[in-house]
Structure 1
Amino acid sequence: MKTTTLRNALLAAAVFAALPAHAQDKVAKIGILAPLTGGAAADGTEMVNGAKLAAEEINAAGGVAGYKLEIVVGDTQDQAADAVTSAFERLAGDRDVNAMMTGYASGSNFEIELMAEQEMPYLISANSAQTRDIIAPSPDDFPTVWSFTPSYDAYETAMVPVIEQLEKAGIELPNKKAALISSDNPYSKTIMEGLKKNFEAAGWTVTSADLLPFGEINDWRAFLARVRQDAPAVIINTDYLPGNAAKFVTQFLETPTNSLVFIQYAPSVPEFLELTKEHSTGIMYNLLGGVLDTPKNPRAAEVAKKFEDKYGVKTGSYGASLYEQVYVYAEALAKVGDPTKRLEIGAAIGATEKQIASGKLKFDPATHLAMQGDDAIPIQFFQIWNGERVLFYPDAYATGTFQSPPWIKQ
């Protein structure tokens, strides 16, 4: 009798263990493509943390459509094509992975083509020009791919009007010269070329538009030596790696000129402030899709507080973005009910219209980019002052005013 009972118990246990996941807790895995090693590792860690925070909250509330969310990660390392492809293939090989997300995985966004081939829902938050160039010729071929970041055109066009506005507000500039430098990657290079075009169209002299190899840059002094000879009113560095940007600021301040200093994206990463400390005061940067933390957008403060409470650091753009991406996917899954219905999930994501940390999210069906504008996702200009990020443009969302940097001698 005891032998029979034991045999039956073991049989029952074996059958229970062999049951598919949906007979117990069904699992919907979300693959995160993120650079966890290399110069962009701070961004990659933030991406993963934002996604995990949202998944934990959703699971604690009971999951979605009968599924618990699980975050799995593929390291894209230095964003080279082979590293991104390897990470994608590993994640795609798991049958429970029916959606992928990233801040950025590669510089060119070539992986969008891989996602489309497998009808994989893919949410992305960077390299909008590349996303648009891939999708716009035939948007119906990419029904599952959507960008949380709007067109980067504003990165190229908004700078001159903002500087002109600062002049009208009383910031004195010594001349109409601008010095530009970039590293050789699609994001930084495209923005620098667009800025050069727009400065020249506005009557400015661009004294340099240097291009350095992409990767770790320890010495900016050759460029800065020429800058000191020309003493331009504006210096712009579009390399986005925070370690590189920190070295640039330190070396500029060795013998500063009476110039406004703007750095693309990197100052938004918490690592930049850790590396530069008080030396970052006066530096400008801007963001499309960054956290819009103003009284007019309480969602931003809510997300930022949750992130800081969880991890002990403030979120940059990608922590908040991946947090919101997981929620948008979860809402689509709730409507569709089945994560394997990828095309339906993609359509539900594309129909999203909601307030998120960076503004009001709605997608352009012609490009699959988030819409840009004051009533959608606005471009934000910041200045760092005593370790705080002061949003000074657009006026409708401003939390403070721009101040003349401390290295400028009046």
Structure 2
Amino acid sequence: MVPLTGPSAADGAEFRNGIILACEELNARGGLLGRPIKPFFVDTCRQTAKEVVSAARLLIEKHKVHAIVNGYNIGAQNSEYEPIADAGIIYVHANTLLQHHDTVMSDPDRYFGCFMADPADYWYGPGLIKFLSWLRDSGQWTPKSNRIAIVSGSTPYSIVISNSMAKAAASYGWQVCFGPKIVQTPTSQWRDVIEEVRATDPAVFANTHFYAGDLAHFQRQFVENPMDCLVYLQYGAVHRTFADIAQEASVGVIVSSIIGLLRDEMGKRFETRYKARFGDGSTPTIGCQSYSNLHHYAVGAAMAGGSGAPGDFEQNRKVAFALRGMIYRTVHGTIRYHPDWQAVVPYPVLTPDPSLGMPHIFYQIHDFRAPLAMIAPEPYNTERFIYPPWMSGRPTETKPAPSANPRGLTEF
């Protein structure tokens, strides 16, 4: 189930690519216990509940799929879990929704096969605050104040992130001076809210909307008359589409993803294979998500002795048991499912051990024509933060208070 049309089509194309590459690699090695893996793709367009549920039913009823493995389909808010649970098949996704925790924990027996292969959206908020504090405390950046302005898109995903960001701020010595204010999205018009934020004179301006094209328009409008502050843009700005539209205006922007391709040997080899298969204009850091999800599923199903068709609850429970018990190192870090949530544990905000959590990666655009600079977290970072070109870069005497919670939020 992939959004091949609609506002997330750029990501959807990469999710499709990731599944294709994973299938090709697995089948070249004999498939799943000697059986070839055949993908079926259904377009979820705008990712409404109706579209995603219809896609799930089509895959189950027409194609008799043993598992649904994909990237994200955020708008359905877990509605697709119902036909999947009725069929008793495995569902591995990257929806990044806190609601996944609630659904799985509400009835673990019914939703035994539903796995979220990335941390929930909630962790973006405290993750950003922890990153900003690390940037400040490590001496890489001297903020002019402790003031943070937060603007949110209108989707539940964006709202959850902005609220968790605001909630975490005080624990690290920051003050929310604006928002979180919800802007009706999608939109390409940001000048009014930019002017509202300007009046509060923040040290950080965070926008939790995530459509790449909309964020590009935001950044172009911001640099028309920039403020002396850092700009953080949610997930969508990792996409090549963002830099292609924003061009020079994108340089200096900070963006993060709680799931993204690492720059180690595994990550570099994957990137080479991915671009050789899909071209230099493709985005491996997006495609790696569905790619790793399918590889992980295949390993779990092999450990369980095979996959299960719709209705084969017994076999699919064995697959789910294998997935839950496995610590699996992928090209974007470690997949380790929390035993209660069946969602991936994030590093460093929830676990201090990088081998036991998926890294919340922070990037900065240093050159809009080049790959994103990975500036955090340690030990995965390969570059360092630079002051954005619109900022003065001059240290000031005013610094936020020291963090009262230096180890991060550890309770859900």
Superposition TM-score tier, normalisation by shorter sequence: 0.7 to 0.9
1:248 and 1:71 mapped to 2: Cα distance? Answer: 37
1:225 and 1:372 mapped to 2: Cα distance? Answer: 35
Q: Which residue of 2 aligns with 1:8?
A: none
1:351 and 1:314 mapped to 2: Cα distance? Answer: 33
Q: Which residue of 1 aligns with 2:74?
A: 106
2:243 and 2:300 mapped to 1: Cα distance? Answer: 36
The answer to whether 1:147 aligns with 2:116 is yes
Contact 1:381 1:391 in 2 (8 A): yes
Over aligned residues, Cα RMSD in angstroms? 1.8
Contact 1:283 1:383 in 2 (8 A): yes
The answer to whether 1:303 aligns with 2:274 is no
Larger mean Cα displacement after TM superposition, 366-375 or 146-155: 146-155
1:259 and 1:48 mapped to 2: Cα distance? Answer: 37
Larger mean Cα displacement after TM superposition, 301-310 or 134-143: 134-143
TM-score (norm. length: structure 1): 0.86
In the TM superposition, residue 95 of structure 1 has moved relative to its aligned partner by: 4.6
Deviations 1:87-113 (A, max 9, x none): 112111125311102211233222123
Larger mean Cα displacement after TM superposition, 277-286 or 330-339: 330-339
Q: Which residue of 1 aligns with 2:52?
A: 84
Q: Which residue of 1 aligns with 2:406?
A: none
The answer to whether 1:238 aligns with 2:238 is no
Contact 1:359 1:377 in 2 (8 A): yes
1:75 and 1:88 mapped to 2: Cα distance? Answer: 11
Q: Which residue of 2 aligns with 1:369?
A: 343
In the TM superposition, residue 122 of structure 1 has moved relative to its aligned partner by: 0.3
Contact 1:46 1:319 in 2 (8 A): yes
Contact 2:104 2:112 in 1 (8 A): no
Q: Which residue of 2 aligns with 1:403?
A: 386
Equivalent residue in structure 2 for 1:360, among 315, 318, 334: 334
Contact 2:92 2:117 in 1 (8 A): yes
Counterparts of residues 35-114 of structure 1 (less than 5 Å):
35-107=3-75, 108-114=77-83
SS in 2 for 1:395: coil
In the TM superposition, residue 203 of structure 1 has moved relative to its aligned partner by: 4.4
Larger mean Cα displacement after TM superposition, 196-205 or 359-368: 196-205
Point out the structure with max Rg over C-alpha: 1
The answer to whether 1:157 aligns with 2:131 is no
Alpha-carbon spacing, 1:289–1:203, altered in 2? closer, same or farther (3 Å)? closer
Equivalent residue in structure 2 for 1:291, among 248, 261, 264: 261
Contact 1:178 1:207 in 2 (8 A): yes
Q: Which amino acid aligns with 1:150?
A: P
2:52 and 2:122 mapped to 1: Cα distance? Answer: 26
Equivalent residue in structure 1 for 2:231, among 261, 282, 288: 261
Counterparts of residues 126-275 of structure 1 (less than 5 Å):
126-168=95-137, 169-201=139-171, 202-215=173-186, 217-275=187-245
SS in 1 for 2:42: strand
SS in 1 for 2:291: helix
Deviations 1:103-154 (A, max 9, x none): 1123322212331121121001122312112112332332211111024443
SS in 2 for 1:174: coil
Equivalent residue in structure 2 for 1:117, among 64, 69, 86: 86
Q: Which amino acid aligns with 1:158?
A: G
Deviations 1:24-54 (A, max 9, x none): xxxxxxxxx1111111000111111100111
Alpha-carbon spacing, 1:192–1:67, altered in 2? closer, same or farther (3 Å)? same
Q: Which residue of 2 aligns with 1:14?
A: none
Q: Which residue of 2 aligns with 1:24?
A: none
Alpha-carbon spacing, 1:153–1:308, altered in 2? closer, same or farther (3 Å)? same
SS in 1 for 2:21: helix
Larger mean Cα displacement after TM superposition, 206-215 or 318-327: 206-215
Alpha-carbon spacing, 1:141–1:400, altered in 2? closer, same or farther (3 Å)? same
Counterparts of residues 18-33 of structure 1 (less than 5 Å):
33=1
Equivalent residue in structure 1 for 2:322, among 329, 343, 348: 348
1:334 and 1:134 mapped to 2: Cα distance? Answer: 27
2:152 and 2:52 mapped to 1: Cα distance? Answer: 23
Structure 2: unaligned runs, 5 residues or longer: 310-314, 348-353, 395-412
Q: Which residue of 2 aligns with 1:319?
A: 287
In the TM superposition, residue 316 of structure 1 has moved relative to its aligned partner by: 4.5
Contact 2:66 2:307 in 1 (8 A): no
Larger mean Cα displacement after TM superposition, 96-105 or 196-205: 196-205
In the TM superposition, residue 269 of structure 1 has moved relative to its aligned partner by: 1.5
Q: Which structure carries more strand by proportion? A: 1
TM-score (norm. length: structure 2): 0.86
Alpha-carbon spacing, 1:117–1:317, altered in 2? closer, same or farther (3 Å)? farther
In the TM superposition, residue 338 of structure 1 has moved relative to its aligned partner by: 4.3
Higher relative contact order (CA 8 A, sep 6+): 2
> Matched residue pairs, number?
374
Structure 1: unaligned runs, 5 residues or longer: 1-32
Deviations 1:245-301 (A, max 9, x none): 10000000100010100001012122112222232110001121211223xxx3222
1:160 and 1:105 mapped to 2: Cα distance? Answer: 26
1:102 and 1:355 mapped to 2: Cα distance? Answer: 18
